[in-house]
Amino acid sequence: MAQEVRTTFGELRQFAAWVEPDARIAAQYGFQDRTIPDSAQAIVGSDLAVSMTNGRGPIVNDARADWALFCQERFGLRSSRWPSFRRHPLSDSFLWRSVGSGKRVLSDAEAEAYDRDGYVIVEDVLSKAFLEEVVADLDRFEAERVTAANAAGGKNNITQAGKVSFNVQLARHSAPLRKLIALPLLQHMMYDLIGPNVRLYWDQSVYKSPNSCLAFPWHQDTGYTYVDQPGKIVTAWFALTDADEDSGCMWVLPGSHRVGPLVHEKGEFGNRVFAEDPSGMIPLPMRAGSIMVFAGLLPHMTGGNFQNWTRKALVVEYAPDGMNRIAIDPWGDKVISPANNPHTQFNVLRDGRPVVSR
């Protein structure tokens, strides 16, 4: 791949999220009407900065991931900041949409952070008593899973005995979990990020066993099933115990959600979007009772748990009501099915108002 490319401003403007240079810059280069013409020659470097071919410094400093993907696909340009992205074949027209106006609980700074980085962390949301109630119920399901896993030889799908375990779609069986999923704070955040009609899409507990070096691979939560509104899937990751770099906290690649759905390869421990850890990845340690709300398109992973206690977390995915799953059948045709199972994907908001679940 190229380290530097020469092109025209007309071609650069094909980027859907292109931001024009300041008019004063165009005037400095002597362009009439303070606008750089499409025919003007430009250089794009591996740092993704845009310079005039006859200029000394960059006039556009756009380091966003979607700009990197555009330069990669359009020019074969290798970015020094981002890994090589592989766009999902059904995602040819994806464009990240920023959080709009009319927000209920997100501040302007939080909305800006979500658009820029793909996540927001809210510390100490759950009271100690409610946290203990939720964990006790999840522990009950975990005990049942262990019995079933032992009978199956110690492995059940991506659950690994003595390493990590997953219990899925528990909300339909757990009143404390349904209460947690419909916390007013989360309802209002989902209104801000998704819209007035929101449905539970997926829920699962994730228990990392003591002294387990198993890392769950880099993936997007949208990487298991393609949907027609991938930018509207939002995940809430609940730290049920303290989570840091030694106990298996979340790691993310901030800003990479903007590229949209990516190709995932199937692996032993789940679908994988990156074979190696990307530069720019950061850990996100959290205290028990805190919540990380992030775009379902944000690539993330969790490391091993090197403590002598079980690291516990809960993953809840929200989606717009009316969202569809899209699959390709053996004949190459699209198969569309609504994500509206009433038992596992119940409504959380309808017309902006809470839906009471029992």
SS3 24: helix
CA distance 227 to 321: 12
What pLDDT score was predicted for residue 148? Answer: 73
Q: Region 255-281: what's the mean pLDDT?
A: 91
DSSP string covering 226-258: -BS-GGG-EEEEEESS-B-TTTT-EEE-TTGGG
User: Sheet of 58-61: strands edge to edge?
Assistant: 4-8, 41-45, 49-52, 58-61
What pLDDT score was predicted for residue 165? Answer: 87
**C-beta of residue 163 within 8 angstroms of C-beta of residue 214:** yes
* pLDDT above 90 coverage of the chain, percent: 77
What pLDDT score was predicted for residue 190? Answer: 97
Positive or negative, the CA dihedral 277, 278, 279, 281 is negative
**pLDDT tens string 83-113:** 999 999 999 889 999 998 889 999 999 999 9
| pLDDT band for position 155 (cuts 50, 70, 90) | low
**pLDDT tens string 38-56:** 999 999 999 999 998 877 6
**Range with top average pLDDT, 13-27, 45-59, 308-322:** 308-322
Q: Which residue has better confidence, 152 or 338?
A: 338
Q: Region 120-126: what's the mean pLDDT?
A: 97
Question: What is the pTM for the complete model shown?
Answer: 0.93
Element (H, E) at 334: strand 334-338
C-beta atoms surrounding 292 within 10 Å = 23
Backbone angles phi, psi at 224, to 5 degrees: -100, -35
CATH topology of domain 108-354: Jelly Rolls (2.60.120)
Instruction: Name the token pair of 55.
Output: 């200029």
Model confidence at 79: pLDDT above 90? yes
- Residue spans of alpha helices (H) in the chain: 9-12, 23-28, 65-75, 108-117, 128-151, 175-181, 184-193
Q: CA nearest 299: which of 350, 223, 352?
A: 223
What pLDDT score was predicted for residue 312? Answer: 97
Model confidence at 278: pLDDT above 70? yes
CA distance 345 to 319: 9
**pLDDT tens string 316-341:** 999 999 999 999 899 989 999 999 99
Averaged confidence pLDDT in the chain: 92
Instruction: Name the token pair of 210.
Output: 């003591």
Model confidence at 310: pLDDT above 80? yes
CA distance 162 to 244: 20
Q: What is the DSSP letter of 297?
A: T
CA distance 301 to 272: 10
- Residues with Cβ within 8 Å of 161's Cβ and at least 6 positions away in sequence, in order, are 149, 150, 154, 155
Backbone angles phi, psi at 120, to 5 degrees: -140, 135
Q: CA nearest 25: which of 46, 56, 4?
A: 56
Backbone angles phi, psi at 47, to 5 degrees: -85, 0
**In the chain, domain spans:** 4-75, 108-354
Alpha-carbon distances, residue 302 vs 85, 132, 212 (angstroms): 20, 23, 12
